[in-house]
Amino acid sequence: MLRPFRLEEPESVKEASEALARYGDSAKVYAGGTELLLAMKEGLVHFECLVNVKKIPGLDEVRRDNGSLRIGALSTHRELERSETLADALPVLVEMEHNVANLRVREVGTLGGNLTFAEPHADPGTLLLALDATVVAQKAGGEREIPMNEFFVDAYEAAIEEDEVLTEIVVPVPGANAAVRYRKFGYLERPSAGVALHVMADDARRSVRDVRVAVGCVGPKSMRVEEAEAVLRGKSLDEAANAMAEAGDIAGRAADAISDLHGSAEYKEHIVKVLLTRAFNDIRAELAG
């Protein structure tokens, strides 16, 4: 049962921001609604007004801009899954998007909506953390860039102001000697654990020049685990393989796992380690190939 609300339909980001500022915390951006409307139907939240940003032109494009991909925040998961630009430059994002929720949710839900809602059991944020992505937030008075590792504040809470609209996700294209994987596990509709690993190898592809480890779903928010990265950085790929158990233990502990329907905290910590090791093994094979 959805309680009545008012709909505002601005045609520019400025108008949207002004509407959001006018309503304050009694309004919310509507960018697909696959998460928001579920929470509203359950009566968990109510907003007097939804600001439909989907009539604003130009927020659903994907384009390559030098070494980065700029993804319009209103791109649906399905559009990203089928984007040739992404398939070419960032296949790991296409694979992740292909496995988000189900077909119908992917047809309607948008990447910007997914990130802003900050549902802990979600896939994109974790991968975007490992890719060093940033998001662009705009409001009537200007715009700012927010690095992904400052974006998630807590469960259902992102670092976006009341009158800001997330407009773009900017993802640096991984280098020639880099490989990235996102691995998840779950038996419910939403993922129970998600792990992203981004290994930047040296030119000879023998050692880990730099690395990103991100964990999601198991705790209140997706996060980068720099302590786990430190264990792997600078090691040869062989040494890194031997250090995966330690890195996985650190990542599991750092992720702030909670016990819930998806499993106990201890179980989730173990799964994080397993997924991280599998991601590394796949990356190693890719770098060797």
Asked whether position 38 contacts another protein by CB under 8 A, the answer is: yes
Residue with smaller CB distance to another protein, 6 or 206: 6
Cα 73 to Cα 115: distance, rounded to the nearest angstrom? 9
Please answer whether residues 75 and 110 qualify as being in contact, where contact means their C-beta atoms are separated by less than 8 angstroms. Answer: yes
For the CB of residue 23, give the shortest distance to another protein in the complex, in Å. Answer: 6
Beta-strand pair 165-172/157-158:
unpaired
CB of residue 171 to another protein, shortest distance in Å? 25
Sign for the pseudo-dihedral over CA of 255, 223, 130, 218: positive
**CB 142: neighbour CB atoms within 10 A?**
8
Q: Which of 16, 29, 50, 51 binds another protein (CB under 8 A)?
A: 50
Which one among 10, 17, 20, 23 touches another protein, defined by CB under 8 A? 23
Token digits of residue 254: 């750092």
Nearer to another protein, 41 or 144 (CB): 41
Binding mask 59-98 for another protein (x = CB under 8 A): -------------------x--------------------
Measured distance CA(229)–CA(101) in Å, rounded: 29
Alpha helices of the chain — where are they, by DSSP H? 13-23, 36-41, 77-81, 84-89, 91-98, 103-108, 111-117, 124-130, 226-232, 237-254, 265-288
Residue 106 phi, psi (nearest 5): -65, -30
Single residue of 15, 87, 105, 235 touching another protein by CB under 8 A: 105
Nearest residue (CB) to another protein, 40 versus 231? 40
Kindly tell me which residue out of 18, 48, 249, 282 binds another protein, with binding defined by CB under 8 A: 48
If one asks whether residue 11 binds another protein (CB under 8 A), the answer comes out as no
CB of 144 to another protein, least distance (A): 26
By the 10 Å C-beta count (0-12 exposed, 13-18 middle, 19+ buried), 234 is classed as: middle
- Which CB sits closer to another protein, 163 or 269? 163
Q: Which of residues 181-240 bind another protein (CB under 8 A)?
A: 189
Which positions touch another protein (CB under 8 A)?
2-7, 22-23, 26, 33-34, 37-38, 41, 48-50, 78, 101-105, 107-108, 189
